[in-house]
Amino acid sequence: MKRFCKVRWIALLLLIVAGTAFLSFKNSDNRSFQLAKNIDIFSSIVKELDLLYVDTIDANKTIREGIDAMLYSLDPYTAYYPEDDQSELEQMLKNTYGGIGSIITWNTKLKRSMIGEPYEGMPAAKAGLKAGDILMAIDGQDLEGKNNQEISEMLRGQAGTSFKLTVQRPGVEKPLEFELVRRAIELPIIPYYTKLENNVGYINLSTFSGKPAREFKQAFLDLKKQGITSLVIDLRNNGGGLLDEAVDIANYFLPRGKTLVTTRGKIEQINMSYKTLREPIDLDIPLAVLVNSSTASASEILAGSLQDLDRAVIVGTRTYGKGLVQTTRSLPYGGQMKITTSKYYIPSGRCVQAIDYKHRNADGSVGRIPDSLTTVFHTAAGREVRDGGGVTPDIQVEQEKLPNILFYLVNDNLIFDYATQYCLKHETIADAQHFELTDADYADFKEMVRKADFKYDQQTEKILKSLKEMAEFEGYLKDASGEFEALEKKLQHNLDHDLDYFAKDIRNMISIEILKRYYYQKGSIIQQLKDDPDLKEALKVLGDTEKYHSLLSPKATADPAVAEK
């Protein structure tokens, strides 16, 4: 009897295994059929369009738009790059491209592109091009009617090739012609580092593309020679790059053999583990890391790893929350595809991904994972941290909101144009650290704005108008008409008042734009650091040893026995 029962259980188990295998095979077979079916349908649609559509279709454009829409429906990071359009991918991976090394911006009045910001030491700056130069022609071809994207593509090309660029410089009567030789442009990885007060080092790291670990090491060792006793790493607005580079930089401050990142995807080959492989440079120097909402990807790996291992105090605002990893795949006809293959997890085990692209709303939109659905993890010392929403700083700094008028002044190029005129009048200025915009300078700027007949939307006027319309709709306007009229008089558009009331923010933006013209990106960073709330908090905590260590230690819990007494 026992033998019969045993045989029966074995038979049942084999039946279950066989059934599972059959269903798995059936599901896999059905999935393959659905894939083949839809590819066949797509191919047939394209052929029918090409044969019968009333106008001749551009096959490359139509299919490319279909591919882009399909990939974007998955997430913003999965993208296709055909053979003739891989400069963006190359720049992303290597932090280089063939060109002249300048930001190109749009002149709204002239409806032409212009030099916005030449990079220090690059062909544009070396040739003598300046911010504000209007781009007129390339090798004699008039650029009128071309947008920024088209002109940027014309300026880029194989390193070593040359062309003639004709520009119209403000304040100069005749057009100027420049002979430019394209080169491999490397965007500044560390645009600025210095020793601040009280022997605090500061390193601004702008990207993890290229070879940032090597440059960071050089900057850090140079600061150590200068006698720094603590360090601020500025990762604000750093959108990320190469994961390995983030691990290497973290390794400078963490012991060898620590697992910093694991990646998990659909297939086993994608699952990886990244450890610190080298001996550190400094395990003891106090660290503060500055982050904001534009700190993403590899930047979050560095900040999150240092937080999870209780090695640095994070200061600023919650980071972007990109916990997805992309790899590149070769495609037919020389194309490349950047595809999201996995999510990454930092030492505490959390993933910082803030948006769940798999579960979209009914209208196709996506939103951040609510805090109520995030999970608590713990740092090496036992501090609570959470997943699902970027890296939350240990010291959160409330960010000042920029005034509405400043957006319009920048958007209308009034601050840019004033900086251009300022440079025509001043051949040299004070060094970036000591430069100040005078009251007379600001008075000149205000006069220029008045003459430009500058207009801008005031949010209070918009909200009041909406409130008035709603009050009329609901029948309250008649009784409240007097109050509305009084409020409208007080909220009347007053340009002089706004230029004076928001003078601090406007003057700071003007100073940044002016300093770019003389000291490039380094100058603008120095100006921004002069009154930087995040940096102030970082300096404060690095100067207070007791607070620094308390922030890196778990919060003490009350002893129940003591509480009962």
Annotate 170-186 with three-state secondary structure: CCCCCCEEEEEECEEEE
pLDDT at 7: 43
Average pLDDT of the residues in 287-297: 97
pLDDT in tens, 468-517: 778 777 777 777 777 777 776 666 668 888 999 999 999 999 999 999 99
pLDDT at 4: 45
pLDDT in tens, 6-56: 444 444 444 444 454 444 455 567 888 888 999 999 889 989 998 999 999
The CB density around residue 518, as the number of other CB atoms within 10 Å, is 16
pLDDT at 564: 39
Rounded CA-CA distance 297/311 in Å is: 19
Residue 284 has pLDDT above 60, yes or no: yes
Which residues are part of the catalytic machinery?
297, 308, 322
Contacts of 107 (CB under 8 A, 6+ apart): 113, 114, 134, 413
pLDDT at 490: 66
Average pLDDT of the residues in 124-151: 95
- Thinking of the domain 96-186, which architecture would CATH place it in? Roll (2.30)
Residue 378 has pLDDT above 60, yes or no: yes
Contacts of 307 (CB under 8 A, 6+ apart): 289, 314, 379, 385, 391, 394
pLDDT grade, residue 2 (50/70/90)?
A: very low
pLDDT grade, residue 455 (50/70/90)?
A: confident
In DSSP notation, 340-405 reads EEEEEE-TTS-----B-TTS--TTS---BPPGGG--EEE-TT--EEESSSSPPPSEE-PPPPPPHH
Residue 426 has pLDDT above 90, yes or no: yes
Query: Dihedral sign, CA of 20, 22, 24, 26?
Result: negative
pLDDT in tens, 347-356: 999 999 998 8
pLDDT in tens, 320-362: 999 999 988 999 988 999 999 999 999 999 999 998 888 777 7
Average pLDDT of the residues in 428-433: 96
The CB density around residue 366, as the number of other CB atoms within 10 Å, is 15
Average pLDDT of the residues in 524-541: 97
pLDDT at 95: 62
pTM of the model: 0.85
What are the residue boundaries of the structural domains of the chain, listed by start? 40-73, 96-186, 192-330+339-396, 404-542
pLDDT at 308: 98
Average pLDDT of the residues in 444-470: 82
pLDDT in tens, 76-134: 999 998 887 777 777 666 666 789 999 999 998 899 999 999 999 999 999 999 999 99
Q: 445 — phi, psi (to 5°)? A: -65, -45
Please provide the CATH number assigned to the domain covering 192-330+339-396: 3.90.226.10
Residue 448 has pLDDT above 90, yes or no: yes
Cβ atoms of residues 163 and 138 within 8 Å: yes
pLDDT grade, residue 565 (50/70/90)?
A: very low
pLDDT at 23: 45
Rounded CA-CA distance 181/503 in Å is: 42
**Looking up tokens 């045989």, which residue turns up?**
7
Cβ atoms of residues 305 and 250 within 8 Å: yes
The gap from C-alpha 425 to its chain's centroid, in whole angstroms, comes to: 35
- β 395-396/313-316 pair status: parallel
- 153: three-class secondary structure by DSSP: helix
Q: 98 — phi, psi (to 5°)? A: -85, 120
For 417-446, b/e burial (b = at least 16 CB within 10 A) is bbbbebbeeeeebeebeebebeeebbebbb
Cβ atoms of residues 506 and 516 within 8 Å: no
Amino acid at 464: L
Residue 375 has pLDDT above 80, yes or no: yes
